[in-house]
Structure 1
Amino acid sequence: MRISGNTIFIAGGTSGIGLELAIRLSKEGNAVIVGGRRRDRLEEITAAHPALGTVEIDVDDTASIRRAFEHVTASHPALNVLVTMSGIMHPEDLTSPDSLQIAERTVTTNILGTIRLASQFIPFLREQEAATIITVTSALAFVPLPMTPTYNASKAAIHSFTESMRVQLADTSIQCIEIAPPGVRTTLMGQEDSEAAMPLDAFVNEVIALLEANPEAKEIIVEAAAGLRYAEANGNYDEMLAMLS
């Protein structure tokens, strides 16, 4: 993926990693549209960042995805990059009946949301000369955080989905890139002030640098995520799992 000259839609880009990535990619010379559920939040983004486009989208709703697709592709016919950012993360006590509700919401947003977006946008993107789908997983796809079992599983599922999608689209114009963040200082799981989490600006800076350095990248793994990503290959999976436990 070239680092500039793209038209990029970031679904779930209204806060945290998604918004910071949108801002940085816009500064790199891309047209960027962010999507989210809350109209008031989208209006705040428009006021604070006039260069960014916005569109309402709820990835839990196939009709909403379709409406957002029609709006974005009509207003930005050069759209060539889709970033699937939408995701939720909640602790689960598997001995509690409430855990099932959390699990079902997580699967709907984190797995079905990404699959639905890909299904909707692939036919359009494959008509572009050069296109990219970026999925956002997590280092926890590779070594789980036991207190968030369905979140970990959802990210592992999207890692696997991205691998398969990359193979199926190999003969098309669409490149598939997976970004697997470590813990980052965002509101996800209340990590915004966590000393154990990576500063948001440092994470996005490293992502942009890795994308620029390797336009043919399949995965973007920042240094802070490498320990979990390669734990099994490095032979210290059990040690890493014990640490997260």
Structure 2
Amino acid sequence: MESNVVNAASLRATTITAHPPDSTGYVSRPARDPNGIGRYYEGRQIAHVMGHEGADWLERNDRTREEGTELLINELHLKPTDVVADIGAGTGFFSFRLAPLVPRGRVLAVDIQPEMITELRQRQAKNGLHNVEPVLGTTTDPHLPASAVDVVLIVDAYHEFDHPREMGQAIRRALRPGTGRLALVEYRAEDPNVPIKEIHKMTVAQARKEMAAVGLEFVEVRETLPQQHLLLFRRPQ
């Protein structure tokens, strides 16, 4: 009987460890949350991407008040000559607000959905902000110029990246060595009062863990926004 117990325990242990994370931090297993995919990175389940059908939600009237978007933009402390990459730009909600602040720079509005790129171009034709450049990226590469970006901004999108490690590495390569900054904005997972599904939130600890894995240094976290963390990282020299 004792032998049978030991064997059963061994079998359970084998089952549990059958699919450990690979060397890149990924593991595939059944989705713990139906709003996520069956893929985990550094222990975090990756969320489903919000499609272009959700464009109206990005441009909702009360977004500025709910998220403190003007405060976020001010916290970036942009210079007129900065090159800014807005990754997961969507309809350009932030891209077109950032553009006037970098009149001698440019905003690279990156999205992986061709429909969003079309929307960006249509909005640009109406507002005339020619220093916004729509960029069609992929799930592994935002197609940014190497060592040429001053600020990368990712608002409520990183947790949906299918390949966060590859994207993180690509972002690191794009940032200017020593000065390039990543501004990562995610809903606070530590706060149960933030009315967002758990899979669409992140903790500071998790964000720091994932950015460290791709060689980005933590600078600080600013808790000035109503519902989100603003985490700042930089590319080392």
Q: Classify the TM-score, shorter chain.
A: 0.3 to 0.5
> Is the strand fraction higher in 1 or 2?
2
User: RCO higher in 1 or 2 (8 Å CA, sep ≥ 6)?
Assistant: 1
Q: TM-score, normalised by structure 1?
A: 0.47
Larger radius of gyration: 2
Q: TM-score, normalised by structure 2?
A: 0.48
